[in-house]
C-alpha cells in the first residue's frame, strides 16, 4: 500500500512541460469569457435571475439569492472579465478565485437552469486556482519574469485530465440502461425530429440509425478517456472528440458544452505533439526561458487530490443508494454527469385547500414561473416540493394558515405515454423536508 502511494506520488510529482496547462488555461479562459458575455447578450440575466418571482434554490444553498438587475450585470461582467484574465494569464490567482466564486454563485441561484457543463466549469475553475497555469505565455510571467516555468509537476495536468474524464466516463455509465441501449431512446425521438438536416438527415429515417447512435455514443463516452490518455491513440481520439462534438452541436440545442469538451480535451496533447503540429503548420519557435527553480508541491496536495477525486468517483453513483430509477425520480440525478440521456416532459397544477373553511384554489405554475422553471419543475420532485412551499408561504401571507397543497402531475419519459408522477393524495405541506417527496413518486410503468 505504502509502495503504491509512493509510486503514485512519484508519478504525480514528475516534472513535465507546462505547455498543455498553458494551452488549457488560454482555451478555457477565452471560451468562458465568450460564454458569459453571450449569456448577457441573450438576455438570460433577466430570464434566469431577475424576472422570476421565485427561485428554485439548491438544498443547503437557500441563502444564495440574486441581486437587482444592474448588480447582476456587474457580477456577470466581472465573471466574464476574470475568465478573460485567466486566458491572458493576468492577475491569475485572483482571477481564478474571482471566477470560481462568481461563476459558482451564478450557478447556485437557480436550479431550473442546472447544466452539467456549468458544474464542470465550477470544478475546473476550482482546480485552476490550485495550479500554476500562468507561469508561461501569460501577462503575469511577462511582468514578473522570474515566475516563468518550463516544467510543472505532472499532477497539475493530471487533475484536469481526470476531471474531464469524469464527464465522459460517468456520461457513458449513465447510458448503460435499457431505454438507451435496447430502445434507442431518447435518440429515436431526437433524430426523427432532424430528418430535415441535409445529407445526414436521410440516415435518420432508418430504424437502425438511433441504435447505432446510441451504442456508439455510449462506447465513445466510455472509451474516449482511455484513448485520449494513451499516446498511440491520442491523435485519432482527438479527431473523434472534434467529430463527435461538432455533430452533437449540429444536431441538438446543446450550447457551449461541445466547445468546452473540444477545447478542454486539448489538455491531453503533449508538448511534443504540439511541436509536431507547430512544425507542420506554423513553424513558430518559442524561446525557452531560464527556469530558476522548479515549482514546489506542498505536502498536503497529493492527499487532497486523492480525497477530491475519491469524491468525484463516488458521488455520481449515489443515486444507486437513493432510487431504483434515477431518470424517473431524478433523486441523485444532478452532479452525476447524466448528459443528454432522456426526453422528459411534464404537466403540473396545484390545489390549495384551506382546512379551516374548505375553500379551494387551483394554482397554475405558468402564472408565476418562467417557461424554463415551469418545464423543469414539472418533472423534478424536489422542485415540485419547493414550489408547494412557495405556495404555502403565499397563502400564509393571505392569512390561510392551515392549508393542504396537492399536486396533479403527469410526466412522459422517453416516448412513453404520460403517467401520474406524484401521488395526487399527498399533502405536500405535510412533507417536512424535500427528501420526503421521493417516497410519494408513483412508480414508472413501462
Partner 1 sequence: MAFTLKKASYLFFIISLLFIITISCDTNGINEKQFRTEYYKETQLSNIYDNEISKLNEQLIEATIRLNVITEEFAQQPTLVNLISIRNEWTEMVLVWKQLELYRVGPISSSYIYYRINYWPTNITFINNFIDGTDVINESYIESKGGSAKGISALEYLLFNTDAETTLNSFTTDFNFERRLDYLVSLSQNLITKTQELEALWIAYNPEFISATEVGLDGSQNLVINEMVALLEEIKIYKLGKALGDTNGGAIDINELEAYRSQKSLEIIKANLKSLERSFNGDFAQTPFRIGFDDYLIQLGYESLAIEINNNFINCYTKIDAINNPLIIEVVNSTQNVTDLQTAVTELLVLIKVDMANAIGSTITFNDNDGD
Site for partner 1, residues 87 to 116, rule: CB under 8 A:
113, 115-116
Map the footprint of partner 1 across residues 2-61, applying CB under 8 A: 44
Binding status of residue 262 toward partner 1 by CB under 8 A: no
Binding mask 349-378 for partner 1 (x = CB under 8 A): x----x--xxxxxx-x-xx---xx--x---
Peptide bond preceding 186: is omega within 30 degrees of 0, i.e. cis? yes
**To the nearest whole angstrom, how small is the minimum distance from the Cβ of residue 148 to partner 1?**
28
Binding status of residue 181 toward partner 1 by CB under 8 A: no
- Report d(CA 83, CA 38) in Å as an integer: 13
Which residue's CB is nearer to partner 1, number 109 or number 131?
109
Choosing from 49, 92, 238, 263, the residue that interacts with partner 1 (CB under 8 A) is 238
Q: Are 254 and 340 in contact (CB under 8 A)?
A: yes
Span between the terminal Cα atoms of the chain, in Å? 47
- Report d(CA 85, CA 438) in Å as an integer: 43
Which residue's CB is nearer to partner 1, number 68 or number 207?
207
Q: How many residues bind partner 1 (CB under 8 A)?
A: 73
Choosing from 8, 64, 181, 247, the residue that interacts with partner 1 (CB under 8 A) is 247
Binding status of residue 197 toward partner 1 by CB under 8 A: yes
Binding mask 120-159 for partner 1 (x = CB under 8 A): ----------------------------------------
Choosing from 25, 111, 117, 175, the residue that interacts with partner 1 (CB under 8 A) is 117
DSSP reduced 3-state for 413: strand
Burial of 35 (0-12, 13-18, 19+ CB in 10 A): buried
Q: Give the helix/strand (H/E) hosting 174.
A: helix 155-174
**To the nearest whole angstrom, how small is the minimum distance from the Cβ of residue 193 to partner 1?**
4
Binding segment toward partner 1, per CB under 8 A, in 72-80, 83-91, 249-257, 435-443: 249-257
How far, in Å, are 246, 249, 257, 259 from residue 254 at the CA level?
Answer: 10, 6, 6, 10
Choosing from 412, 434, 442, 444, the residue that interacts with partner 1 (CB under 8 A) is 412
- Report d(CA 226, CA 99) in Å as an integer: 30
Choosing from 33, 75, 218, 339, the residue that interacts with partner 1 (CB under 8 A) is 339
DSSP reduced 3-state for 362: strand
**To the nearest whole angstrom, how small is the minimum distance from the Cβ of residue 173 to partner 1?**
15
Q: Give the helix/strand (H/E) hosting 246.
A: helix 234-251
Binding segment toward partner 1, per CB under 8 A, in 125-133, 311-319, 403-411, 435-443: 403-411
Choosing from 404, 410, 427, 434, the residue that interacts with partner 1 (CB under 8 A) is 410
Nearest to 237 by CA among 266, 197, 274: 266
DSSP reduced 3-state for 68: coil
Binding status of residue 202 toward partner 1 by CB under 8 A: yes
Q: Are 92 and 41 in contact (CB under 8 A)?
A: no
Q: Give the helix/strand (H/E) hosting 405.
A: strand 403-413
Binding status of residue 256 toward partner 1 by CB under 8 A: yes
Choosing from 140, 221, 343, 382, the residue that interacts with partner 1 (CB under 8 A) is 343
Nearest to 416 by CA among 188, 104, 164: 188
- Report d(CA 6, CA 1) in Å as an integer: 9
Binding status of residue 308 toward partner 1 by CB under 8 A: no
Choosing from 4, 68, 196, 446, the residue that interacts with partner 1 (CB under 8 A) is 196
* Cell 422517453 found at: 414
Q: What's the full length of the chain, in residues?
A: 446
Which residue's CB is nearer to partner 1, number 146 or number 205?
205
**To the nearest whole angstrom, how small is the minimum distance from the Cβ of residue 426 to partner 1?**
19
**To the nearest whole angstrom, how small is the minimum distance from the Cβ of residue 374 to partner 1?**
11
Nearest to 382 by CA among 46, 65, 61: 61
Binding segment toward partner 1, per CB under 8 A, in 76-84, 239-247, 290-298, 429-437: 239-247
Which residue's CB is nearer to partner 1, number 10 or number 250?
250
Alpha helices in 1-154 (DSSP H): 2-13, 19-41, 44, 69-88, 92-109, 116-130, 139-143
Binding segment toward partner 1, per CB under 8 A, in 16-24, 53-61, 74-82, 413-421: 413-421
Which residue's CB is nearer to partner 1, number 199 or number 290?
199
Binding status of residue 201 toward partner 1 by CB under 8 A: yes
Which residue's CB is nearer to partner 1, number 98 or number 339?
339
CA atoms within 13 A on the CB side of 171: 24
Q: Tell whether the torsion through CA atoms of 240, 118, 368 and 345 is positive or negative.
A: positive
Choosing from 219, 393, 396, 415, the residue that interacts with partner 1 (CB under 8 A) is 415
Q: Are 437 and 322 in contact (CB under 8 A)?
A: no
**To the nearest whole angstrom, how small is the minimum distance from the Cβ of residue 171 to partner 1?**
9
Amino acid at each position: 500500500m505504502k509502495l503504491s502511494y509512493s509510486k503514485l506520488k512519484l508519478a504525480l510529482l514528475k516534472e513535465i512541460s507546462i505547455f498543455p496547462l498553458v494551452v488549457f488555461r488560454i482555451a478555457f479562459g477565452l471560451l468562458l469569457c465568450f460564454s458569459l458575455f453571450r449569456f448577457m447578450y441573450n438576455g438570460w440575466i433577466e430570464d434566469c435571475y431577475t424576472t422570476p418571482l421565485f427561485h428554485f434554490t439548491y438544498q443547503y444553498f437557500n441563502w444564495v439569492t440574486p441581486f437587482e438587475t444592474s448588480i447582476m450585470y456587474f457580477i456577470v461582467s466581472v465573471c466574464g472579465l476574470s475568465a478573460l484574465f485567466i486566458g491572458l494569464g493576468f492577475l491569475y490567482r485572483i482571477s481564478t478565485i474571482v471566477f470560481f466564486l462568481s461563476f459558482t454563485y451564478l450557478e447556485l441561484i437557480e436550479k431550473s437552469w442546472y447544466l452539467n457543463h456549468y458544474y464542470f466549469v465550477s470544478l475546473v475553475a476550482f482546480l485552476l486556482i490550485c495550479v500554476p497555469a500562468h507561469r508561461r505565455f501569460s501577462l503575469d510571467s511577462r511582468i514578473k519574469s522570474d515566475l516563468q516555468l518550463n516544467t510543472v509537476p505532472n499532477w497539475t495536468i493530471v487533475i484536469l485530465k481526470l476531471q474531464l474524464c469524469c464527464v465522459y466516463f460517468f456520461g457513458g455509465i449513465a447510458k448503460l440502461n435499457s431505454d438507451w441501449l435496447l430502445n434507442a431512446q431518447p435518440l429515436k425521438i431526437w433524430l426523427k425530429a432532424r430528418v430535415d438536416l441535409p445529407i445526414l438527415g436521410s440516415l435518420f429515417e432508418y430504424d437502425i440509425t438511433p441504435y447505432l447512435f446510441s451504442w456508439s455514443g455510449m462506447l465513445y463516452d466510455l472509451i474516449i478517456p482511455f484513448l485520449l490518455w494513451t499516446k498511440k491513440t491520442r491523435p485519432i481520439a482527438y479527431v473523434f472528440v472534434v467529430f463527435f462534438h461538432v455533430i452533437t452541436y449540429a444536431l441538438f440545442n446543446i450550447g457551449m458544452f461541445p466547445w468546452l469538451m473540444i477545447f478542454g480535451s486539448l489538455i491531453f496533447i503533449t508538448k511534443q505533439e504540439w511541436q509536431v503540429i507547430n512544425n507542420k503548420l506554423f513553424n513558430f519557435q518559442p524561446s525557452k526561458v531560464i527556469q530558476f527553480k522548479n515549482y514546489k508541491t506542498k505536502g498536503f496536495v497529493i492527499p487532497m487530490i486523492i480525497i477530491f477525486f475519491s469524491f468525484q468517483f463516488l458521488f455520481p453513483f449515489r443515486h444507486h443508494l437513493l432510487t431504483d430509477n434515477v431518470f424517473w425520480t431524478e433523486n441523485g440525478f444532478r452532479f452525476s454527469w447524466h448528459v443528454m440521456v432522456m426526453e422528459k416532459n411534464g404537466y403540473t397544477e396545484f390545489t390549495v385547500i384551506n382546512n379551516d373553511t374548505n375553500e379551494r384554489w387551483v394554482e397554475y405554475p405558468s402564472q408565476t414561473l418562467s417557461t424554463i422553471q415551469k418545464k423543469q419543475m414539472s418533472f423534478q420532485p424536489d422542485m415540485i416540493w419547493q414550489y408547494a412551499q412557495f405556495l404555502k408561504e403565499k397563502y400564509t401571507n393571505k392569512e390561510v394558515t392551515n392549508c393542504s397543497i396537492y399536486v396533479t402531475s403527469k410526466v412522459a419519459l422517453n416516448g412513453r405515454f404520460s403517467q401520474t408522477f406524484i401521488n395526487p393524495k399527498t399533502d405536500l405541506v405535510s412533507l417536512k423536508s424535500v427528501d420526503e417527496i421521493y417516497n410519494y413518486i408513483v412508480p414508472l410503468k413501462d
